[in-house]
Amino acid sequence: MTVELLAPEGATLESAAATIAGALSVRERAGRAHDRSYYDTFDGLLHARDAVLVHEGGELVLVRDGVERARAPLRRPRRPFLVAELAPGALRDALASMAGVRALLPLARIHSRERAVDLLDDERKTVVRGRLSAPATTPDGNGVAGRLRPRLSLEGVRGYDGELEALQRRLLSELGFAAAECSLLDEAVRARGGEPGGVSAKVGVALGRGEPAAAAVAAVLSRLLEVIETNLRGTLEDVDSEFLHDLRVAVRRTRAVLRELRGVFEPGALARFRAEFRWVQAVTGPARDLDVHLLEFDDYRALVAPRFRSDLDPVAELLAERRRRALRDLRRALRGRVFGDLLEDWRGYLARLPGSSSAQGPDGARPIDELVAERVARVYRRMVRDGRAIGPGSPPEALHELRKQGKELRYLFELFAGPLFGEQTVTPLVRTLKSLQDVLGRHQDRAVQAAMLASLTAELARRPGGPAALVATGALAQQLLDDEHGAREEFTARFRPFAAKATRQLVREALR
Amino acid sequence: MSVVLATYNIKGGVGKTSTAVNLAHLAALGGAPTLLWDLDPQGGATYLLRVKPKVRGGARKILAGRTDVAGSIKGTDQPGLDLLPADFSYRHMDLALDDFKRPGRRLARVLGPLREEYEHVFLDCPPSISLVSESVFGAADWLLVPVIPATLSSRTLAQLDGVLDGRPPLLPFFSMVDRRRRVHRDVIDQLRSERSDLLETVVPLSIEVERMGLQREPLAAFARRGRAAAAYEALWSEILGRLAA
């Protein structure tokens, strides 16, 4: 059992050791110095699982629940790195399951001097092993060095629990030590101005029934703006593909609110911001699409016969090239004036929205729950109607359109209906919707992917390995279209529970 | 699943306790989780490791499995080495064992769950031949028998052969040897010609081993470079070799 305490306020390693030695029977030994660097994803995926990734002495170590899980030799990473860049092995596998495609970012580098302070009993036997450490964060690129409060880590020797408890009591009540509220890493992260546990892209804005729509909507949109802003730098620096993804999801949600709850906004402002956010979606689209293609490329290979798989290499190269170009365009756009002004003006508008009736539209003062209930009901009914009209002869666009509506409905649920009417109530509805969206998504994505492949053919033909690549691409495109067809066949079965009487009833009752 | 090694000799003062403590310490130093159970009511090993000779409920409770045996274990100053202490009530352990249906299996039963936790379990036995020793014979995988090369040693070993009938196997070795004494050299030669199971390593008579009682530490903790420590290290290596064979 290990206990961590903070040394008295203002203490140094030496003064803390002296305090303990002065009051208790201890044996001190010089300890080591440590130089440790810590890493986690932007959104704290390791932290969320009680895991720590730390580099020390030429090795990267993964610790979970206090137990070492895997380690690998590695030079100290000074910049963000992807799990895929690590050498194959247990460490990479363990990290992949936790971090996925997210990059591991340096969180803090902590240098600490240590001293062993062991508590002895009257036989001069060690009964508690103590380690005093004086940590300091070292600058790592753009950080500031800072001393953190010294810590005392206590480990009871087996069979001497009573002694450990007594020591703890004495340290806390008489010698000025304090319980450690958070881990050393969290303290270091906070000292560097960061947020322990990372930056979340979740919205989670609490809303109250009866709240005026303008205020509620402004709160949600402000949070979405925050998500856009916090993910901007990672997007521009191309740290990992999730930054752009989270940014686009926040933009998409913003657009959904502007569209579904349009009556809340003054028409002129509404038109401007709708147009500009549509532009943001458009300029960031190609880069994201190519990210997805590249992430899924191994899955594509698996779809074709083994002898075609390596023939697809020129396709991957071409996609990578296109992605580089798309990233350049994206950077130009997001670093430009128009985008900068958009964010600033939008922030200003949202600040004014709750209090100024001139910034509001006709629905601004209505209670948010009423408005949301109305909208959800309307979108849902339209989806039921449109979905029922889909038959074997309907064009694929009909399903694409239904999917778009489904996205808007889902955002209404997630951003508003959940917080207003309770997650318990809303979850079954979201689940049914999600099941439908999955098949609609597959249907549209496969069509888009096949079309994308078709667009590459001219350029592919000109490249080394071109003819073989074309054959393989043809085989892949066929598989994708087959899957699109398969999704179409599943549509009816997935739509049925969505449009069923029980669901209609649930929608009616849930939003009362 | 661990190996249980018991230091045993009907004679006292031959180096059972210093052997048990030093070998257990070396085992733990080597990275193997190790337990030493001091079965001798004199509590020599317990004293050397600075632990109080107390076990809750005493011998009776431990043997009955009513005391949580694991709860009585104490960590020593050496990480990886734990001690199940002696208790003065162990002087009546024979009587306690007699209450059980199969006294010869009793210690093995008590040790059962602990074997999962430790790679090596050492039993430091009291000098006697009794129910306790029988129970030790039933629990041990190997018997470490320190022998002072004086005239009656071969008789001791022969007697043990008779009692054990091969199980557990013996690992006899010469302990507290004074090479200046002719009788020691002669007895060593004699016994080596009679028996093939004697270990090669010889542990010398040493002032350092006696100092263990003052230092209250295993040899390797305070006299690592000395002759005696070197001998115990060599002994442990040789034993590991025998275990692996």
Q: With bands split at pLDDT 50, 70 and 90, how would you rate the model's confidence at B147?
A: very high
Question: Chain A residue closest to B54 (CA)?
Answer: A159
Q: Under a CB-based contact definition with an 8 Å cutoff, are residues A499 and A387 in contact?
A: yes
Mean pLDDT value of segment A248-260: 97
**Hey, are the CB atoms on A158 and B49 less than 8 Å from each other?**
no
DSSP B63: H
Mean pLDDT value of segment A324-339: 97
Mean pLDDT value of segment A318-324: 96
Q: Under a CB-based contact definition with an 8 Å cutoff, are residues A414 and A203 in contact?
A: yes
Question: Chain B residue closest to A27 (CA)?
Answer: B77
List pLDDT tens digits, range A259-274: 999 999 999 999 999 9
What SS3 string covers B84-121? ECCCHHHHHHHHHHHCCCCHHHHHHHHHHHHHHCCCEE
Distance CA A494, CA A21 (A): 71
Distance CA B167, CA A180 (A): 55
Give yes or no for residue B151 having a pLDDT over 80: no
Q: Under a CB-based contact definition with an 8 Å cutoff, are residues A183 and A108 in contact?
A: no
Q: With bands split at pLDDT 50, 70 and 90, how would you rate the model's confidence at A446?
A: very high
- Percent of chain A scored above 90 by pLDDT? 90
Distance CA B244, CA A240 (A): 52
Q: With bands split at pLDDT 50, 70 and 90, how would you rate the model's confidence at A69?
A: very high
Burial (0-12, 13-18, 19+ Cβ within 10 Å), A160: buried
- Listed residue (A319, A306, A314, A287) closest to A464, CA to CA: A314
List pLDDT tens digits, range B169-202: 999 999 999 999 999 999 999 999 999 999 999 9
Cis before B168? omega within 30: yes
What pLDDT does B60 receive? 87
List pLDDT tens digits, range A201-238: 999 999 999 999 999 999 999 999 999 999 999 999 99
Burial (0-12, 13-18, 19+ Cβ within 10 Å), A282: exposed
Q: How far is A124 from chain B (nearest CA, A)?
A: 7
Mean of per-residue pLDDT scores for chain A? 94
Helix or strand run (H / E) with residue B31: none
Q: Under a CB-based contact definition with an 8 Å cutoff, are residues A471 and A311 in contact?
A: yes
Q: Angle at CA A427, nearest 5°, toward A422 and A432?
A: 150
> What b/e readout covers A338-358, taking b as 16+ CB neighbours within 10 angstroms?
ebeebbeebeebbebbbeeee
Q: How far is B50 from chain A (nearest CA, A)?
A: 6
- Listed residue (A380, A483, A400, A493) closest to A444, CA to CA: A400
Residue A65 sits at the chain B interface (C-beta within 8 Å): no
Residue A239 tokens read as 């740290």
Q: Under a CB-based contact definition with an 8 Å cutoff, are residues A66 and A1 in contact?
A: no
Those residues whose C-beta lies under 8 Å from the C-beta of residue A383, and which sit 6 or more positions away, are A402, A405, A406, A409, A498, A499
Q: Which long-range contacts (CB under 8 A, 24 or more apart) does A222-230 make?
A: A222/A347, A222/A350, A224/A250, A224/A253, A224/A254, A224/A257, A225/A250, A225/A254, A225/A343, A225/A346, A225/A347, A225/A350, A227/A201, A227/A203, A228/A254, A228/A343, A229/A343, A230/A199
Q: Under a CB-based contact definition with an 8 Å cutoff, are residues A491 and A328 in contact?
A: no
List pLDDT tens digits, range A341-365: 999 999 999 999 999 999 999 999 9
Pick the range with the lowest mean pLDDT from A408-412, A436-440, B56-60, B67-71. Answer: B67-71
Q: Under a CB-based contact definition with an 8 Å cutoff, are residues B42 and B130 in contact?
A: no
**Hey, are the CB atoms on B50 and A160 less than 8 Å from each other?**
no
Strand partners, B174: B147, B202
What pLDDT does A142 receive? 54
Instruction: State the complex-level ipTM.
Output: 0.89
Distance CA A137, CA A35 (A): 10
A469 or B151, greater pLDDT: A469
Largest distance between two CA atoms of chain A:
90
- Listed residue (A177, A204, A182) closest to A194, CA to CA: A182
The SS3 of residue A118 is: strand
Residue A28 tokens read as 């001190």
What pLDDT does B67 receive? 61
Strand partners, A33: A113
Give yes or no for residue A145 having a pLDDT over 80: no
Residue B69 sits at the chain A interface (C-beta within 8 Å): no
Residue A110 tokens read as 């902590």
Residue B72 sits at the chain A interface (C-beta within 8 Å): yes
Q: With bands split at pLDDT 50, 70 and 90, how would you rate the model's confidence at A143?
A: low
Mean pLDDT value of segment B29-45: 96
Q: Which of residues 204-233 of B touch A (CB under 8 A)?
A: 216
What pLDDT does B66 receive? 62
Q: How far is A116 from chain B (nearest CA, A)?
A: 13
Q: Under a CB-based contact definition with an 8 Å cutoff, are residues A371 and A207 in contact?
A: no
Give yes or no for residue A122 having a pLDDT over 90: yes
Helix or strand run (H / E) with residue A504: helix A501-510
The SS3 of residue A131 is: strand
Give the closest of B50, B72, B73 to A125, CB-based. B50
**Hey, are the CB atoms on A160 and B216 less than 8 Å from each other?**
no
What pLDDT does B167 receive? 86
- Residue B164, CA distances (Å) to A47, A444, B140 in order: 58, 81, 12
Residue A79 tokens read as 């910049």
Q: Angle at CA A107, nearest 5°, toward A106 and A113?
A: 105
Distance CA B170, CA B193 (A): 17
Mean pLDDT value of segment A323-335: 97
Distance CA B26, CA B119 (A): 13
Give yes or no for residue A433 having a pLDDT over 80: yes
Mean pLDDT value of segment B8-20: 93
**Hey, are the CB atoms on B82 and A125 less than 8 Å from each other?**
no
Q: With bands split at pLDDT 50, 70 and 90, how would you rate the model's confidence at B70?
A: confident
- What's the Rg (C-alpha) of chain A? 29
Q: With bands split at pLDDT 50, 70 and 90, how would you rate the model's confidence at A141?
A: low
Give the closest of A121, A124, A159 to B75, CB-based. A159
- Percent of chain A scored above 70 by pLDDT? 99
For residue A495, the tally of other CB atoms under 10 A from its CB is 22
Residue B48 sits at the chain A interface (C-beta within 8 Å): no
Q: Under a CB-based contact definition with an 8 Å cutoff, are residues A33 and A113 in contact?
A: yes
- Listed residue (A89, A33, A99) closest to A64, CA to CA: A99
Question: Chain B residue closest to A157 (CA)?
Answer: B75
Residue A391 sits at the chain B interface (C-beta within 8 Å): no
Distance CA A52, CA A170 (A): 31
Burial (0-12, 13-18, 19+ Cβ within 10 Å), B127: middle
**Hey, are the CB atoms on B52 and A123 less than 8 Å from each other?**
yes
List pLDDT tens digits, range A283-317: 999 999 999 999 999 999 999 999 999 999 999 99
Q: With bands split at pLDDT 50, 70 and 90, how would you rate the model's confidence at A512?
A: confident
Q: Under a CB-based contact definition with an 8 Å cutoff, are residues A413 and A421 in contact?
A: no
Residues of B whose CB is below 8 A from A160: 74-75
**Hey, are the CB atoms on B51 and A123 less than 8 Å from each other?**
yes
